[in-house]
Amino acid sequence: MYSIYLKHPQICTDTRKIIPGCLFFCLKGENFDGNRFATQALEQGAAYVVTENTELTNHPRCIVVQDSLKALQELAAEHRRNLEIPVIGITGTNGKTTTKELIATVLKTKFKISFTQGNFNNHIGVPLTLLSIPADTEIAIVEMGANHPGEIRTLVNIAEPDCGLITNVGKAHLEGFGSFEGVVKTKSELYDYFRAKENAFIFLDKDNEVLCQVSTGLNSIGYGLEGEELYVKGKLHACAPFLAFEWEHEGKTYDVNTHLIGAYNVKNALAAIAIGCHFEVP
pTM of the model: 0.93
- pLDDT given at position 171: 65
**Count of C-beta atoms within a 10 Å radius of residue 261:** 12
pLDDT above 60 (res 92): yes
By the 10 Å C-beta count (0-12 exposed, 13-18 middle, 19+ buried), 160 is classed as: middle
As a whole-number percent, the residues of the chain with pLDDT over 70 amount to 96
As a whole-number percent, the residues of the chain with pLDDT over 90 amount to 87
CA distance 72 to 23: 10
**Single-letter amino acid code for the residue at 198:** E
pLDDT above 80 (res 179): no
In this structure, are residues 67 and 75 in contact, taking their beta carbons and an 8 Å threshold? no
pLDDT above 60 (res 135): yes
In this structure, are residues 99 and 273 in contact, taking their beta carbons and an 8 Å threshold? no
- Give the model's confidence band at 34: pLDDT under 50 very low, under 70 low, under 90 confident, else very high: very high
